[in-house]
Structures are given as structure tokens and as C-alpha cells.
């Protein structure tokens, strides 16, 4: 189902300097796959040679799919003229993505070889805050004037469509470039040639502002099944569009970030295999450290019940089972709630509904676990009824407390404008461990002669 190319054959052509053959083979490929071939070439010189073998009209498309380090190597190897050609063919959003990764001296040379018009646009786009709608939009859209007919519009698309990211949604602007409506190519094709664009356009435009959060923008694409969305400034002037492929990238990246945060890591910027060992360690140590030190609290609680160990060693051997079960139950709840909030299935106003649901689920799960555990303990430790009872009742209470805390904390974090993913499983574990052990020994004191 994916395109399958004979990468080995390409490699041979490159190695044996059959560049014309290589060029012809690459022309038949998808630009994403050409980029993949080039990215995998080592040493870098081969990547540069392969890239330069591409015909001019493919160069920019492939270039925008490369990774920052190879882009930099290529820029440093090509002439100003080649660079200028690539820059004139790159979409503004791809140019901005690239420039954000490059060192300052390379950026300077790139901008020097960009047309003044594009340079102005790029500099403007570079200023939008990270993770904003402005930072992922592009400037290559089709704008129509309000006095155009359908025939005029189709002519304009035919004339200017070649270089646009999408031609399927066109934006109707008034004379001061305010966005007053959208019209799709479908609308245009299904209308009469002499209809006025303003008559068939949809005035009720869904749009976002440059400063809106990219995650909210991605959510709109998923909710309303959009192919693109216009981005306006505070005065409703159209400045760019976001296309669905970029929204998909945002969704994937945001989901990955949530996975990372929920596993107690600081999200990393690059793919795993491209991230250095020191960066990975730097992203992981802070939470490991916080969690390790806070586990001391659990240790202190354990220390307070030292005598109990002496008389009932079975209580000690069950500690890992108890804290693990509490951790697992809490993890199930917090993951459910955090992901539910991320996809907007759960909102702040649902807090009591969630809590009440989790309490009931905890009673069912806890009772089942408690019962099985009681049987197991009695079989493995015949006669030790009171000890088994102590441990099993503690399991039920631990699950109950774990689910309660785990359902409320993420919603509380959201309420306080913190990221709910931060109070996921690992941060919870310490809290749940402490509570579980305290309850455990309180129940032990009630039921056993300690």
C-alpha cells in the first residue's frame, strides 16, 4: 500500500555516479519518499549530491520534507542562485519552520537570497508565538474580490492556482482585505458562470485569530471536518490559512507530548532517534528526582509502623501488592480523565459526574480484587484470617481512594489553568502510596493486636 521503491538500486546509481539515471528514478517518486531516501544517506556528502541531482521543480518540495540538519548542510553546499530558487518555491510555513531551526548566520544568508516580498512575509510570520495559529499558517491561498463573478473566480484560480497550498477553498475579501466570506471550488463548479461570488459565498465563516492556540485550531478541524481554516488578525484582515495536513501534525505532536508528560518527562522537540542522550536525560531527571524525594514521605510513613513489621511480617510482604494496585487503579482513572479532557469528551462542569462514576467503578473493582486477594491469602497462609482480612479490606479502600484522587486532581489542575497531564500517574503514585499505607496500618491497628 505504501509506495515501494528499490532504495538499493538508487544507492547504487549514486555510488556509481550514474546521476542522470538517479535523477530519472527520483522524478518518478513521491517527494516524501525522495526526502526519506536522502535523509538516510550517510555520509552527508551523498545526501547533498542526491539532492543536487533533483530537477529544479522538485527541489523545493523535497527540501521542505528534509530534516533541519540536512537542510543546513545543503544550504551550506549550494550556490546563492540555487538557494534563491528553492526559497522562491517554498511555502511560507515550510520556510518559517526551517528558519526556526537554523543557526543565525545561515538564516542571514537564506534571507539574503529571498525576494524582498517573501522576506517581509517570513519575518512577519516568524514573530507569531510558538504554538499559535500564526506559527503554523501559510500565505499561499486564493483570495477573490467581492465584485467577481463565478467565471472571474474560476479564471483567477486557473491563473494563480499553481503555487497555492490549496485551491479548494477560496476567500472573499473586501477592498481593505477584510474576510467577508468563503466559497469552495465545489460551490463555484456547481454554480452558473454569471452568478456573483458574493451571492454564492458562505458569510458565516469559521476562522481563527493569529494568536489562538494551535491545539484549539486542530480541535476545530476534527470537530467540523475542515480541510482548511482562514487566519485573521485582530481587525479581521485575512493573513493566512491553515491546511488540514498541518492540523494533523499538530494533533500527533500534541498527543505525543501528552504521552511524554503523563510518563513524567519534559516533552522533547525532535523524534527520539534524533534526540541526544544528554537531552533525553535532561528531560527525564527533574521528575525522577522530584518523585524519588517525595517517595521519602512514603518511607517515613512506613517507618512509623516499624513495630508492626516485627509481629506480622506478612503485612510487609504485601506492601508492593498494595501500593502497585493503588497506583494501577489511579493510573487507569487519571489516564481516562486526562485523555477525555484532551479530546473534549470531559469538561470541567462534569467533575461531579466523573467523581460519582469513578467511586462506583472503584467499589466494583475494589470488591472484586479484595475478594480474590482474600482467597489467595487464605490459601497461601492457612489460618491467618485476621491478617488476610486486614490486607483485603485495605485493597478495597486503596482502590477507592486512588480513583477518587485520580478523578479529581486532573480536573482541579485544569481549573487552576495547569496542564492536567502533569498530575498523571507518576505524580499520583506518591500521593496514593502515602494514603494507601496510612489506611493499611490504621486498619491493621483496628483488626490486629498491634
What residues between 372 and 391 interact with a copy of itself by CB under 8 A? 372-373, 376
Measured CA to CA, the distance from residue 143 to residue 161 in angstroms comes to 10
Region of 13-21, 107-115, 272-280, 408-416 interacting with a copy of itself (CB under 8 A): 272-280
Measured CA to CA, the distance from residue 74 to residue 102 in angstroms comes to 12
Closest approach of a copy of itself to the CB of residue 74, in Å: 21
Q: Is 285 in the site for a copy of itself (CB under 8 A)?
A: yes
Q: Residues 90, 122, 329, 423: which binds a copy of itself (CB under 8 A)? A: 329
Region of 67-75, 79-87, 357-365, 408-416 interacting with a copy of itself (CB under 8 A): 357-365
Among residues 3 and 383, whose Cβ is nearest to a copy of itself?
3
CA angle, residues 393, 373, 317, in degrees to nearest 5 = 85
Q: Is 316 in the site for a copy of itself (CB under 8 A)?
A: yes
Among residues 82 and 140, whose Cβ is nearest to a copy of itself?
140
The continuous run of DSSP H or E covering 230 comes out as strand 228-232
What residues between 165 and 184 interact with a copy of itself by CB under 8 A? 167-168
Which letter, b or e, does each residue of 130-164 get, where b requires 16 or more Cβ atoms within 10 Å of its Cβ? ebbbbbbbbbbbbebeeebbbebbbebbeeeeeeb
Which letter, b or e, does each residue of 293-332 get, where b requires 16 or more Cβ atoms within 10 Å of its Cβ? eeeeebeebbeebeebeeebeebeebbebbbebbbbbbbb
Among residues 88 and 279, whose Cβ is nearest to a copy of itself?
279
Q: Residues 171, 221, 312, 440: which binds a copy of itself (CB under 8 A)? A: 221
Q: Residues 40, 76, 293, 385: which binds a copy of itself (CB under 8 A)? A: 293
Q: Residues 106, 321, 378, 389: which binds a copy of itself (CB under 8 A)? A: 321
Q: Is 331 in the site for a copy of itself (CB under 8 A)?
A: yes
Measured in whole angstroms, the distance separating CA 259 from the mean position of its chain's CA atoms is 9
Measured CA to CA, the distance from residue 240 to residue 177 in angstroms comes to 12
Measured CA to CA, the distance from residue 168 to residue 407 in angstroms comes to 44
In sign, the C-alpha dihedral spanning 409, 413, 414, 418 is negative
Q: Is 288 in the site for a copy of itself (CB under 8 A)?
A: yes
Q: Is 345 in the site for a copy of itself (CB under 8 A)?
A: yes
What residues between 123 and 152 interact with a copy of itself by CB under 8 A? none
Q: Is 220 in the site for a copy of itself (CB under 8 A)?
A: yes
Beta bridge partners of 74: none
CA angle, residues 254, 247, 179, in degrees to nearest 5 = 135
Closest approach of a copy of itself to the CB of residue 16, in Å: 25
Amino acid at each position: 500500500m505504501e509506495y515501494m521503491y528499490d532504495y538499493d538500486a538508487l544507492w547504487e546509481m549514486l555510488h556509481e555516479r550514474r546521476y542522470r539515471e538517479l535523477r530519472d528514478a527520483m522524478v518518478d517518486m513521491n517527494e516524501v519518499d525522495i526526502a526519506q531516501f536522502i535523509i538516510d544517506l550517510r555520509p552527508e556528502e551523498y545526501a547533498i549530491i542526491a539532492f543536487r541531482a533533483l530537477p529544479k521543480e522538485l527541489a523545493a518540495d523535497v527540501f521542505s520534507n528534509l530534516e533541519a540538519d540536512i537542510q543546513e548542510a545543503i544550504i551550506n553546499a549550494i550556490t546563492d542562485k540555487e538557494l534563491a530558487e528553492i526559497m522562491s518555491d517554498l511555502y511560507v510555513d515550510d520556510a518559517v519552520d526551517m528558519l526556526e531551526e537554523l543557526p543565525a548566520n545561515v538564516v542571514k544568508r537564506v534571507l539574503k537570497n529571498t525576494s524582498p516580498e517573501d522576506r517581509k512575509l517570513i519575518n512577519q510570520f516568524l514573530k507569531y508565538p510558538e504554538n499559535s495559529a500564526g506559527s503554523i499558517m501559510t500565505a499561499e491561498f486564493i483570495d477573490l474580490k467581492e465584485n467577481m463573478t463565478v467565471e472571474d473566480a474560476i479564471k483567477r484560480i486557473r491563473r494563480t492556482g499553481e503555487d497555492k497550498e490549496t485551491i479548494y477553498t477560496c476567500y472573499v475579501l473586501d477592498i481593505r482585505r477584510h474576510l467577508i466570506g468563503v466559497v469552495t471550488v465545489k460551490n463555484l463548479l456547481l454554480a452558473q458562470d454569471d452568478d456573483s461570488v458574493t451571492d454564492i459565498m458562505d458569510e458565516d465563516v469559521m476562522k481563527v485569530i493569529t494568536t489562538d492556540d494551535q491545539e484549539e485550531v486542530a480541535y476545530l478541524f476534527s470537530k467540523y471536518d475542515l480541510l482548511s481554516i482562514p487566519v485573521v488578525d485582530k481587525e479581521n484582515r485575512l493573513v493566512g490559512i491553515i491546511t488540514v495536513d498541518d492540523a494533523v501534525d499538530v494533533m500527533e505532536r500534541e498527543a505525543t507530548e501528552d504521552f511524554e508528560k503523563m510518563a513524567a518527562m519534559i516533552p522533547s522537540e525532535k523524534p527520539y532517534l534524533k534526540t541526544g542522550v544528554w537531552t533525553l536525560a535532561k528531560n527525564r531527571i527533574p521528575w525522577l528526582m522530584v518523585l524519588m524525594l517525595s517517595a521519602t514521605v512514603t518511607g517515613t510513613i512506613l517507618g512509623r509502623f516499624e513495630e508492626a513489621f516485627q509481629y506480622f511480617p506478612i503485612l510487609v510482604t504485601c506492601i508492593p501488592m498494595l501500593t502497585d494496585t493503588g497506583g494501577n487503579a489511579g493510573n487507569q482513572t487519571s489516564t481516562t480523565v486526562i485523555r477525555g479532557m484532551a479530546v473534549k469528551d470531559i469538561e470541567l462542569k462534569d467533575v461531579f459526574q466523573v467523581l460519582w462514576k469513578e467511586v462506583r467503578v472503584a467499589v466494583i473493582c475494589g470488591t472484586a480484587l479484595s475478594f480474590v486477594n482474600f482467597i489467595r491469602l487464605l490459601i497461601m497462609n492457612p489460618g491467618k484470617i485476621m491478617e488476610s482480612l486486614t490486607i483485603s479490606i485495605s485493597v478495597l479502600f486503596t482502590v477507592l481512594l486512588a480513583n477518587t484522587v485520580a478523578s479529581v486532581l486532573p480536573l482541579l489542575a485544569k481549573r487552576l489553568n495547569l496542564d492536567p497531564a502533569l498530575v498523571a500517574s507518576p505524580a499520583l503514585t506518591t500521593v496514593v502510596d502515602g494514603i494507601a499505607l496510612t489506611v493499611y496500618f490504621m486498619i491493621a491497628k483496628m483488626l490486629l493486636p498491634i
